[in-house]
Structure 1
Amino acid sequence: MTPPDLKLPDDVEALKAMVLAMAEKAARADALQNEVADLKARNADADERIERLTQILKAFDRARFGRRSEKLGSPTTDDEQQAFVFEEIETGIAAIRAQVNKGRERPEGKRPPRPRKGFAPHMERIEVVIEPEELPEHAGKQKVLIGEDVSERLDVMPAKFRVIVTRRPKYAFKNEDGVIQAAAPAHIIEAGIPTEALLAQIAVSKYADGLPLYRQEAIYARDKVELDRKLMAQWMGKLGFELEILADYLFDEIKKGERIFADETTLPTLAPGSGSTKTAYLWAYARDDRPFGGSGPPMVVYRFEDSRAGECVARHLKGYRGILQVDGYAAYNKLVRSDRGNDGVTLAGCWSHSRRKFYELHVAESSKVATETVERMAKLWQIEETVRGKSPEARVAARQHTSVAVVAELFALWQKTLPRISGKSKLAEALRYAISRRAIFERFLTDSRIELDSNIVERAIRPQATQCSLYTPSSSICKHWNLTFRRRLTRAPFTPHR
C-alpha cells in the first residue's frame, strides 16, 4: 500500500533506484535510532558513574578534612595519597562529562549557567575588544553601540628566571688622589647568587606549599638553572637565622594579647647520625581577637622541642598574664602555680575536645547519653555563630540567655549518668573528662574573650607536619620554618589544609 501522493515512475530502472534510495534511507534511520539508543545507554551509565564517584569523593572529603573526631573510619592511606585520590576522582568525573558532552550542539553564544564568585579586585585586568567583521553589505552604514557581552578568564604568566646585573662604577678625579664608588647593597646571602625574591620563592614553595628542595631542583633545571638542593638548604638555614628577630617579635606580640590559644603535636624528626627518626614536639601559640571584636591581626608562632614536658610551655609563656585556652593536657595546669611565675594565667577549656569523646560513641550508636550530649552541645556552637565578631557585651548577653541553661543541663545529665555506668567504659571516661574540668569549661559563659573551643590553634598546627611557620595575615604571609632554622630537618608526611 502506497501513500496517495506518492507517484511511482513507469521506468523499471528508475523504480529500482527509488526502492534502493528508500532502503538506504530506512537503513540510515535504523542506524541513527540504534546510535541514539546507544548514546542514551552510555549517558545513563556515565551519569551513574559520575554519581558514584561523587559520593566516593564526598566520603573521602569528610574523612580527610572533617574534624578528627568526626571521621567515620580509619584512613587506609596517608594524607598525601588521600589528596591524590581526590584529584584523580575529580579528573575522572571531568573526563566522563567531556565524553558525554562531546558532539552535543548548543545555541550559538549560549552555554550552561555556572556559578562564579568573580576574581579578586587586585588582579590586573587586560582588556581585549573583539569587533565584528566588516562585511561588504555594511559599507556606508553607521554603527551604534547598543550593548556588549563581557566575560572574564583567569590567565597566568609563568614564573621565569632573570639575572640582575649590578654595576658599581669607580671614579677618580683628574689631578686628585682617591677613588669613589657606591657601597655594595646588603644581601641576606653575602656574595651569593640568590636575590631576596628567589629566597622567598624557595622558602614559600618548600614550607608553605610542601614542595621539597629536590623537586624544586628538578623544576628549575627545566629552565637550564642549576640550583643544588644542598646549596638551597644552606640558603634556607641562613634565611631562618635572619628571621629569628621576626619570630621573637611575633611571639612578644602574641603574649601581649588578652587571650592565647595553645596546642602541641608530635613531629617526626631526624636523629643525627642514626639515619632514623625520633619523636619531637611542636608547640603552637595563636592569637586571634576578632571573635570578640578585637582589631589586632591574627598570628601564630611555633616552638620546636624535644620534649612535651610542662617546663616547655612554662618557659615559652614565662611572664604572660592573661587567658590561655587549651585542651585537657595536664602540663598547662602548672602555669597557674605561683611558683612558676605565671600566677596571672587563667585557663579556659576547649569544648571540642570533650565533644569528640562523646561523638565517637554517638557514631558507633553505643550510647544514648552520648547522642543526647552531642545534640545538646550543637546548640552552643549555634549560639556562637550568631555572636562571633560582636561586642563583648553582646556575646556575654547571648551566652547568659541561652548557653548557661544548656551547660547546666549537660552537667546535670553527666553527673546523673556517671554513677550508673561502669567506671571502665568509654562513656565514663568521657564523663570524667568533662566533669573534672567544669570550672574551665564554664568560664566562657561570663568572659566574652573566651571562645567555645581552641580550634583556631588546631587549624594552625594541623598542616605543620612538614613545616613550622610564623603567620600574620595582616599583610602578607611570612613563613619561618622553626625546625630547620633552629634545629634540624624533618621527614614527615604532608598534611594539607582542611
Structure 2
Amino acid sequence: KFRVIVTRRPKYAFRGSDGVVQALAPAHIIEGGLPTERLLAYIAVSKYADGLPLYRQEAIYLRDGVEISRSLMAQWMGHLGFELQMLADYILERVKEGERIFADETTLPTLAPGSGKTTKAWLWAYARDDRPYGGTSPPMVAYRFEDSRGADCVTRHLSGFTGILQVDGYSAYTNLAKTRAKTGSNETVQLAGCWAHLRRKFYDLHISGVSQAATDTVLAMTELWRIEDEVRGKDADSRAARRQEKSSTTAASLFELWEKELGKVSGKSKTAEAISYALTRREALERFLTDGRIEIDSNIVERAIRPQTITRKNSLFAGSEGGGRTWAAVATLLQTCKMNGVDPLDWLSQTLTRIAQGWPASEIEALMPWNFRSDAVS
C-alpha cells in the first residue's frame, strides 16, 4: 500500500528581525528525494531477499498507479549499498572472530560496461553458526563480490582469521591452508571437509545403478547423519565422544571399502573419480570425528548461498560491478536477519531511519540484526 506523506514546514518571520525561520525537513537516506526509508527497505527486501527483480517491481507498482522506473530504483539501491557497506564489513569481521567458519562461492554474471554482454563474476559467502555445538554467538553470513574465483580472493577475505575452515574440495581453500602452514603464519587454518559434497558424487552413481560400491556407500553414510541428529546442539566434547563411539567405525569402513574398490575399476571412471576425491581429502573429512565444533557438512553456508542463486536466476545478472557490491552488502544483512529469525523489512526500515538520523559509528553493534528490537525508539 502506497501513501503520500505530506510534511508541512511553516515559515516564520519576526518583527524587528531579518530573515525567515523554517522548521527543518525530516532526515532521509535519499536527501531531497521521494522515497521514505520504508519504501527503500521494501524495494531492497523484495529484490535481495525475495528474489523479485527491479523490472518486475516496476510493473507491480505501476498497477497501483505508482510510476517508479527501474533505473531510479537501481540508483536508490546503489545509495543503500554505500550506506550499508560499513555494517556488512562489520559482520565479516564478526564472522572471522569465530572458532570455525564455513565458506562457499557461486557465480554471479555481471554486465560488462558498454558491451551489452555479461562477464563471469563471483559471490563468496562466509558463514558462522556456533549453535550446533552449543555456542551462544548469533548466526551470521557475509558475502563478498569479486570478478575472480582466485585464491587471492579468499586470502584477502580471511585475513586475520585463525581456526577451522569448513569447505568443499575447492583448491583455493586448500592453497590458503598450505600457504599459511609453509610461511609459519600465526593465522593457521585447519580445513574440515564436507561429507555432503562427497555423498552427492556417490549418490549420482547409485541412482544410475553403475556401482554397487556407490550404493553401499550411500547406505552406510545414512548412519553418519543419524548420529549427527543425536548430537546437534550438544557441547563439543559430547559430540566428539559420541562420534568416536559410533561414527568413527563407519567412516573407517567406508575408506576401507573405497581403497579396495579403487583397484577394481577403471581409473577414468566416475566411480574412481568419486573415490579419489574422498581418499585425497581423508584428513579433512575425518576431522569432524575428533573435534565436536566441526559439522559433518557445510550445509550451513550452502543454505545461505541458495537464496542468492534464486535471486540470480530471476535477475539474470548484476547490472555492474557496483551493483554486484551492493548485492553483496545488502544480502549480507538481510540473510543474517533471516538466520536470526528477524523480519528483514522491519529491521532494514528501522536501521535506515537510524542511519539517516545520524546514528554514531561507535554504536554499530546495536544496529546488528541479532540486537533488533521492533519496539525500540529509532
If the length of structure 1 is used for normalisation, what is the TM-score? Answer: 0.61
Partner SS state of residue 362, structure 1:
helix
Q: Distance in 2 between matches of 1:477 and 1:323?
A: 29
CA contact (8 A) 1:324 1:347 kept: yes
Partner SS state of residue 141, structure 2:
strand
1:202–1:247 CA distance, 2 compared to 1 (3 A): same
Partner SS state of residue 243, structure 1:
helix
Partner SS state of residue 125, structure 2:
strand
Q: Confirm whether residue 257 of structure 1 aligns to residue 109 of structure 2.
A: no
Unaligned runs of 5+ in 2: 313-326, 349-378
- In the TM superposition, residue 176 of structure 1 has moved relative to its aligned partner by 4.7
User: Which of 340, 343, 347 pairs up with 1:476?
Assistant: 343
CA contact (8 A) 2:12 2:21 kept: yes
CA shift digits 1:200-254 (9 cap, x unpaired): 1111112222222222222222222221221111111111111111110111111
Q: Confirm whether residue 344 of structure 1 aligns to residue 185 of structure 2.
A: no
Work out the percentage of aligned pairs sharing the same amino acid. 66
Q: Confirm whether residue 168 of structure 1 aligns to residue 12 of structure 2.
A: no
Q: How does 1:416-435 map to 2 (within 5 A)?
A: 416-435=260-279
Quote the residue 1:335 is aligned against: 176
Could you say which structure has the higher helix fraction? 2
- In the TM superposition, residue 340 of structure 1 has moved relative to its aligned partner by 9.1
Quote the residue 1:394 is aligned against: 238
CA shift digits 1:321-347 (9 cap, x unpaired): 111100001110122222495741111
Matched AA of 2:252: A
Q: Confirm whether residue 221 of structure 1 aligns to residue 51 of structure 2.
A: no
Q: Distance in 1 between matches of 2:137 and 2:253?
A: 36
Over aligned residue pairs, what C-alpha RMSD do you find?
2.0
Q: Confirm whether residue 285 of structure 1 aligns to residue 285 of structure 2.
A: no
User: Which of 102, 107, 124 pairs up with 1:266?
Assistant: 107
Q: Distance in 1 between matches of 2:286 and 2:206?
A: 23
Quote the residue 1:454 is aligned against: 298
CA contact (8 A) 1:263 1:458 kept: yes
CA contact (8 A) 1:314 1:340 kept: no
Matched AA of 2:261: T
CA contact (8 A) 1:319 1:341 kept: no
Matched AA of 1:384: E
CA shift digits 1:430-461 (9 cap, x unpaired): 11110111111111011111000001111211
Q: Distance in 2 between matches of 1:340 and 1:354?
A: 31
Quote the residue 2:281 is aligned against: 437
Q: Distance in 2 between matches of 1:334 and 1:226?
A: 51
1:200–1:375 CA distance, 2 compared to 1 (3 A): same
Q: How does 1:164-203 map to 2 (within 5 A)?
A: 164-176=5-17, 179-203=20-44
CA contact (8 A) 2:49 2:307 kept: no
Quote the residue 1:366 is aligned against: 210
Partner SS state of residue 264, structure 1:
strand
1:330–1:342 CA distance, 2 compared to 1 (3 A): farther
User: Which of 79, 82, 91 pairs up with 1:238?
Assistant: 79
Q: How does 1:25-36 map to 2 (within 5 A)?
A: none
- In the TM superposition, residue 307 of structure 1 has moved relative to its aligned partner by 1.1
Unaligned runs of 5+ in 1: 1-159, 481-498
CA shift digits 1:171-202 (9 cap, x unpaired): 34444556544433321101101000011111
Work out the number of aligned pairs and report it.
Answer: 321
CA contact (8 A) 1:260 1:286 kept: yes
CA shift digits 1:275-317 (9 cap, x unpaired): 1222211111111111111122221121111111111111111
Q: Distance in 2 between matches of 1:333 and 1:248?
A: 24
Quote the residue 2:47 is aligned against: 206
Q: Distance in 1 between matches of 2:221 and 2:25?
A: 63
Partner SS state of residue 149, structure 2:
coil
1:246–1:343 CA distance, 2 compared to 1 (3 A): closer
Larger Rg: 1
Quote the residue 1:409 is aligned against: 253
CA contact (8 A) 1:320 1:342 kept: no
